[in-house]
Amino acid sequence: MLRFVYFLPLICAFSYAQDFAHNVYFDTDQYVVSTQEEQKFQSFLEQIDSVSIKKITIYGFCDDRGTDEYNLWLSKKRANTIKWYFTDNEFSENLITILDGKGEVALDPFRKDDLVNIRQSNRRVEIFIDSSSKSTKRDTLEIPTAQELLKGELKVGDKVRLKNIYFKTGYSQVVPESIPILKEIAEVLLERTDIYFTIQGHVCCTHDTYDAVDRATNKRNLSVSRAKFIYKYLLNRGIDKKRMKYVGLRRKFPLGKSPKYDRRVEIEITYVANDH
């Protein structure tokens, strides 16, 4: 039987120059992440939230038991599991430039005194992140701000994107620098008592039209949570709840631009009074 001989220290020293790395370990014959490993992986995602990712490399491995065919299949399933964890947490699939299952890791002939721990460490997925400092630039897409649009003429069906309202990846709360802009939007809406609207939450990067996972609750309803956050903020600023609703639209309407534009909230006008 062929074995995949893998010497971790040598490869780390000479083959990779990644800024971040993490291993996810699996139980025997499993490609589902355990609760303990999932918590560690979520902590890793928190760590890389503050950087701009150039590419993600994912390799899956198995221990030395099982046939070559089975181990190759299982290692690929493990790698794909981690891929879906990334996309469920709003990391673009396009960032994953290498996704591969390497099969089994051969036993080190000089270390056979602790087979249980050695095999446990071999049942893993390795993740490498190439990154650079995250830009703090605001949205430069040439569209009017939400404040400007909401002050203008509006009709039923119009959609207003809340420009420069940014959410932390995987969470429903806006980042602190977006609060002043959200406050300005609330002030405009307080004046525009003639309009009723629906707050629509969107997410990026998930498979098909799935919603993303809200890391705070571990529920797959992040688009709803983001819309609800804006709703509650406007409610607390004095907007009549009769004038507004909120809904999550998952990833049903991607814009085809950078993922940050899909990670958005929009206001759709549902009613305009005639006496404004």
Q: What is the pLDDT of residue 25?
A: 97
Q: What is the pLDDT of residue 89?
A: 85
Question: Among the residues of the chain, which ranges form H helices?
Answer: 8-14, 35-48, 68-88, 115-122, 146-151, 179-191, 222-236, 259-262
Report yes or no: 141 and 74 within 8 Å, Cβ to Cβ: no
Query: Does residue 17 register a pLDDT over 80?
Result: no
Report yes or no: 56 and 97 within 8 Å, Cβ to Cβ: yes
What does the alpha-carbon distance between residue 22 and residue 56 come to, in Å, rounded to a whole number? 11
CA proximity to 143, closest of 128, 163, 125, 123: 163
Q: What is the mean pLDDT of residues 68-89?
A: 93
What does the alpha-carbon distance between residue 147 and residue 23 come to, in Å, rounded to a whole number? 45
Under DSSP, the state recorded for 105 is B
Quote the longest CA-to-CA distance of the chain.
85
Return the CATH architecture of domain 146-272.
Answer: 2-Layer Sandwich (3.30)
pLDDT digits (tens, 9 = 90+) for 52-78: 888 999 999 999 999 999 999 999 999
Domain extent listing, the chain = 8-133, 146-272
Least confident of 68-72, 155-159, 161-165, 180-184: 161-165
Q: What is the pLDDT of residue 198?
A: 97
Compute CA 223 distance to the chain's CA centroid, rounded to the nearest angstrom.
12
pLDDT digits (tens, 9 = 90+) for 194-238: 999 999 999 888 877 889 989 888 899 999 999 999 999 999 999
Task: Name the pTM for this structure.
Answer: 0.68
Return the CATH architecture of domain 8-133.
Answer: 2-Layer Sandwich (3.30)
Cα angle: 180, vertex 181, 183; to 5 degrees: 65
Q: In which band, very low, low, confident or very high, does the pLDDT at 175 lie, cut at 50, 70 and 90?
A: confident
pLDDT digits (tens, 9 = 90+) for 92-148: 888 899 999 999 888 776 666 778 888 999 999 999 999 875 544 444 445 678 888
Q: What is the pLDDT of residue 14?
A: 35
Q: Which residue has the higher pLDDT, 245 or 217?
A: 245
Q: In which band, very low, low, confident or very high, does the pLDDT at 166 lie, cut at 50, 70 and 90?
A: confident
Six-digit token string for 164:
């420069």
Question: Burial, 7: exposed, middle or buried (Cβ in 10 Å; 0-12, 13-18, 19+)?
Answer: exposed
The b/e string for 265-274 (b: 16+ C-beta within 10 A; e otherwise) is: bbbebeebee
Q: What is the pLDDT of residue 8?
A: 42
Judge if 8-133 and 146-272 fold alike in CATH terms.
yes
Share of the chain above pLDDT 70, in %: 86
Share of the chain above pLDDT 90, in %: 50
Report yes or no: 214 and 170 within 8 Å, Cβ to Cβ: yes
What does the alpha-carbon distance between residue 269 and residue 276 come to, in Å, rounded to a whole number? 14
